[in-house]
Structure 1
Amino acid sequence: MKKLVLLAAIAFSIISCNKTTEAKEYKTAYIDTQKMMEDYTEAKELDEKYKTKGEVMGRELEVAAKNLKAEMNGFQQNAMAKGQAWAQQKGAELQQRQQELQYAQQAMMQQLQGESGKEMDTLVKSVKQLIKDYGKEKGYDYIYGTGDAATVLYAKDSYDITKDVVKMINDKYAAKPKTDKKEEKAAEKK
């Protein structure tokens, strides 16, 4: 009986060893996501748009800050001449205006971050879909991302498709109908 069980076990192991497992080849590639976003025309234009918008808004605050600074300088000179009661009242007023200016600056930064964040999220979602479509079209099983949030620690340079994808997304962006800059500015003012 023991011999029969032993013989069955040996036969089973021989049969299972004869089975070969097929190793499937996967088509893989990676994209340097940081480089892709640096080279993507729409991302550059979006970055420039908010940089310009920030500068314009910043100039308005800068004028108010200069005016406040000039008043503060005048305050120090007039404090002794106009008396302590005037100095206390004017000092409190200037402090309040300084705080309001700081709040306005914070509000401006939050507004810019909120607006640019929404647009950047939309852009990233769009790029992910374009990469997914690209992968399907080119027959890739996996496309990995490298860059700031690296998911690939090493890959051969021959697997890098960053340039191809950047060209594809820039071509698709260039083919999009452009809105008139005047219409865009009018929409921003509303």
Structure 2
Amino acid sequence: MKNIILVSIVFFTLLSCNTESQKIGFVNNTDLISDYQEKMDIEAKFKGKIETFQKRTDSIGQAFQAEAQAFQLKAQGMAQDKAQLEYQALGQKQQMLQQRIQQEEGAIQEESQEAIDSLIKKVRDYVKVYGKKNGYTYILGSNEAGSVMYGEESKDLTKEILESLNADYNKAE
């Protein structure tokens, strides 16, 4: 009777185990994205746009400041009601400049976010294709949140996939 129970336990244990081997790896999401050459190129592109935007903004600000100072000197010799009207016009001009700057800044941020979102989707799709092509059952993502708390170094595919991604990107250029 004991043998039947023991054989049954062994049989059900073996039956419940999946005899099919599963190939599992993981990538460090942060390293994969941050070291990807296309991301670096996108950052460089937007750094240039931001620098150009800052220079233009600084120049507009300096021009407006000069205009405001000139108005202050001019206003001293003007009638109070006329000075008040010009002061209001100057205030409206300042508001319009600030709105234009905010809109342009928002457009740059939106464009940058769209480019990064597109890049992340591209990397995810690439990892999926890579996994299928190389026979992986799972490729997990590791990040600061701890989705993979530990993984054998031999299962870390970050460097391998990053090299492949960069090679494909450099071919496309």
TM class by smaller structure: 0.7 to 0.9
Please give the alpha-carbon distance, in whole angstroms, between the structure 2 residues aligned to 1:101 and 1:79: 22
Structure 2 residue ranges without an equivalent (≥5): none
1:50 aligned to 2:46?
A: yes
Q: Which has the larger radius of gyration?
A: 1
Residues 1:73 and 1:175: Cα distance change in structure 2 (over 3 Å): same
Say if 1:31 and 1:146, in contact at 8 Å, map to a contact too.
yes
Partner of 2:137: 141
| Distance apart, 1:17 and its partner CA | 1.5
Q: Which moved more, 1:72-81 or 1:12-21?
A: 12-21
Partner of 2:106: 110
Map 1:17-166; keep pairs closer than 5 Å. Answer: 17-19=9-11, 20-21=13-14, 22-24=17-19, 25-148=21-144, 150-166=146-162
| Distance apart, 1:52 and its partner CA | 0.9
Map 1:168-187; keep pairs closer than 5 Å. Answer: 168-176=164-172, 178=173
Say if 1:61 and 1:101, in contact at 8 Å, map to a contact too.
no
Once the two structures are superposed, residues 90-137 of structure 1 have per-residue CA deviations (whole angstroms, 9 ceiling, x without a partner) of 221221111111111111122112222333232222211111111122
Once the two structures are superposed, residues 59-91 of structure 1 have per-residue CA deviations (whole angstroms, 9 ceiling, x without a partner) of 223221111111222233333332322331222
Residues 1:80 and 1:139: Cα distance change in structure 2 (over 3 Å): same
| Distance apart, 1:51 and its partner CA | 1.6
Using structure 2 for the length normalisation, give the TM-score. 0.83
| Higher RCO (CA 8 Å, separation ≥ 6 residues) | 2
**What is the alpha-carbon root mean square deviation over aligned residues?**
2.4
Say if 2:33 and 2:120, in contact at 8 Å, map to a contact too.
no
Using structure 1 for the length normalisation, give the TM-score. 0.76
Q: How many residues align?
A: 169
